[in-house]
Structure 1
Amino acid sequence: MSGPAPIRVLDFGQVMAGPLAGRLMADVGAEVIKIETPEGDSMRGRPPLRDGHSAYFGTLNAGKRSVVLDLKTDEGRRDAFALALTADVVIENFRPGVMARLGLGYEALSAANPRLIYCAISGFGQQGEGAKRPAYAPMIHAASGLDLALMDFSPGAERPAPTGMFYADVMAAVYAWGAIQTALFERERTGKGQSVDVALMDSLISMMIYEVQEAQFPQARKRHVYIPVKTSDGFVIVVPLSGKNFAAMLSVLGAPEWGDDPRFATPAGREANWAEIMRHVEGWTASRSSDACEQLFMAAGVPCSRYRTVSEALADPVSVERGIVGTVEDGAGTFSVPNPPFRLSQTDAQVRRMIPALGEGTAEILGALTSAHEH
Structure 2
Amino acid sequence: MTEQTRPLDGLRVLDFSTTIAGPHCSRLLADMGADVIKIESPEGDLMRSRPVQRDGAGTMFGQLNAGKRSIVLDLKRPEAIVAVKKLVETVDILVENYRPGVMKRLGLDYPELAKINPRLIYGAISGYGQTGPAAGRPAYAPVIHASTGYDMAHLFYQQGRERPDNCGIFVADYASGAYAMGAILAAVHQRHVTGKGQMIDVSMFEALVGMLLGEVNRAQFDFEMPSRPMYGPVEASDGYVMLATASERTFQDMATAAGRRDWLSDPRFEKYADRRMNWDKFVDEFEQWSRTLTVKECVAALEKHGVPCSPYLTVTEALQDPQVAHRGSLCTIEDSAGTYKSPAPPFRFSGSPLQSGPKVAALGEDTRRVLAEAGLSAADIEALVK
Q: TM-score range by the shorter chain?
A: over 0.9
Paired-residue identity, %: 47
Partner of 1:306: 311
Corresponding residue number in structure 2 for 1:102: 106
More deviation in 191-200 or 124-133?
A: 124-133
Separation of aligned partners in 2, 1:172 and 1:241: 27
Mapped partners of 2:199, 2:246: distance in 1: 45
1:322 pairs with 327, 331, 338, which one? 327
RMSD: 2.3
- Provide, for residues 256-286 of structure 1, a one-character-per-residue CA deviation record: whole Å limited to 9, x for no partner: 8777632122333333322222222222222
1:71 to 66, 75, 90: 75
1:153 equivalenced with 2:131 (yes/no): no
CA change 1:40–1:267 in 2 (3 A) is same
- Per-residue CA shift, 1:98-119, capped at 9, x if unaligned? 1111111111110111000111
Q: Which residue pairs with 2:278 in the alignment?
A: 273
Residue matched to 2:268:
263
Aligned AA (1:8): R
Alignment of 1:183-194 (within 5 A): 183-194=187-198
> Who is 2:88 aligned against?
84
Q: Distance in 2 between matches of 1:246 and 1:366?
A: 62
Secondary structure at the residue paired with 1:218? coil
Contact 2:33/2:354, CA 8 A, preserved across alignment: yes
Structure 1 stretch displaced more, 289-298 or 267-276: 267-276
CA distance in 1, matches of 2:274, 2:302: 22
Q: Which has the higher helix share?
A: 1
User: How far is the alpha carbon of 1:335 from its aligned partner?
Assistant: 1.1
TM-score by length of 2: 0.91
Aligned to 2:357: 352
* 223, 240, 249: which one aligns with 1:219: 223
Letter in 1 for 2:46: S
Q: Give the distance between the partners of 2:256 and 2:213, measured in 1 at CA.
A: 35
When structure 1 is superposed on structure 2, of 249-258 and 42-51 the one drifting more is 249-258
| 1:237 pairs with 2:242 | yes
Alpha-carbon separation, structure 2, partners of 1:18 and 1:149: 26
The answer for unaligned runs of 5 or more in structure 1 is: none
- Give the superposition deviation at 1:347: 3.0
Q: 1:96 to 1:255 in 2, by over 3 A?
A: closer
Aligned to 2:11: 7
Q: Contact between 1:13 and 1:91, CA under 8 Å: does it hold in 2?
A: yes
Helix, strand or coil for the counterpart of 2:374? helix
- Which residue of 367, 373, 378 maps to 1:368? 373
SS at 2:144's partner residue? helix
**Structure 2: stretches of 5+ with no match in the other structure:** 380-386
Aligned AA (1:176): A
**TM-score normalized by the length of structure 1:** 0.93
Q: Deviations over 1:7-66 (max 9, x none)?
A: 000000011111111101101110000000111100001011112211110110011000
